[in-house]
Chains A and B, each alone.
Chain A
């Protein structure tokens, strides 16, 4: 026993670090399965997912804290460019949160930028969001944010009727103009 310990004046300490004020751990809890009965905003680090990934309970789902991005756009298109195909994660379903869009049309015309999920084998299209330039003033810059809030599951593999992918399509609907634009889709992984 050292001198300081021997000099303690009484068994009850004078100082106490109380970590129970909100019941939170200082270090993120971790493991290979989520805890039962989480509270909204609760964090859990899954050591078994993609080399380790932090998730939060949003009241309904465990969503990755990391946001992923998908870009689709065109530069000075005079007519509808080919659709852009994007891969979906095959290991986890995703929560598609939003699409941020920029659109510039050189003169009066109507273009659309559409993000959808394409079910390849049966050619089904689930439109996630569609943004039109109808009603815009020509030769001006416009920004938009469209919330999506849709779960998309690309984990079905490559067997018949299962392959799905993101598709971003930019279409000249009417008029003749030059279009500059980009759609930026944000999503998170869903883990269970």
Chain B
């Protein structure tokens, strides 16, 4: 860190008036009272990882991915169960999708959060093909902004997951899609 100091004639010494955190500050616990955008490198997390305070959370600088590819299906696609971290909650930041329909039909691409023991499937984001022209590619990127916490273990009622699946609602068509969900770790 850098410290702005002034000369205090009453004590005859330099006294701090402002402490500025270096962007390369590191350690095993975050500094108190961070400013938005402040960076801190945690040496104790996964061999070392940089985090940035976004005003609410310390988010990893590294952006991770959840990935699913749906290759030319003609009916509802079985959900893809995705591996999520068990050591830190994650901040689902955004998702990208690419969709191709053969003839006109309506499909909905879904990313769900699962609370398994509660049989709860909370839709996080979805993308409908309604109104799209058939036989064309469409690409999207949408913000998410949702926490998913897989740190609670495999005991009852704590099993949290993310699934990606596609639902054919009307029409008959071949459907192709690729999905990338981007997330960051949340540390405290």
Residues of A near B7 (CB, < 8 A) are 12-16
- Chain B stretch 48-79: residues in CB contact (< 8 A) with chain A: 48-50, 61-62, 64-65, 67, 78-79
Decide if B137 is an interface residue (CB 8 Å cutoff): no
- Whether A100 pairs with B84 at a CB distance below 8 angstroms is yes
Q: How far is the CB of B133 from chain A (nearest CB, A)?
A: 28
CB contacts between A and B, total, < 8 Å: 131
Chain A residue contacts of B5, Cβ below 8 A: 15-18
Check A98 against B46 for contact (C-beta < 8 Å).
yes
Residue contact B47 to A26, C-beta cutoff 8 Å: no
In the assembly, what is the distance between CA of A142 and CA of B84, in Å? 11
State which residues 113-160 of B face A: CB under 8 Å: 114, 116-117, 150, 154, 159-160
Number of A positions contacting B (CB below 8 A):
48
Cβ B83 vs Cβ A43 within 8 A: no
Say whether B159 contacts A18, CB under 8 Å: no
CB–CB A182/B48 < 8 A:
no
**Max count, chain B CB within 10 A of own CB: residue among A28, A98, A141:** A141
Query: Chain B residues in contact with chain A, CB under 8 A?
Result: 1-7, 14, 17, 22-27, 41, 43, 46-50, 61-62, 64-65, 67, 78-87, 114, 116-117, 150, 154, 159-161
Given contact pairs A95-B47, A141-B81, A180-B80, a sample of 5 additional A-B residue pairs in the complex whose CB atoms are under 8 Å apart: A26-B23, A140-B117, A141-B159, A145-B85, A182-B82
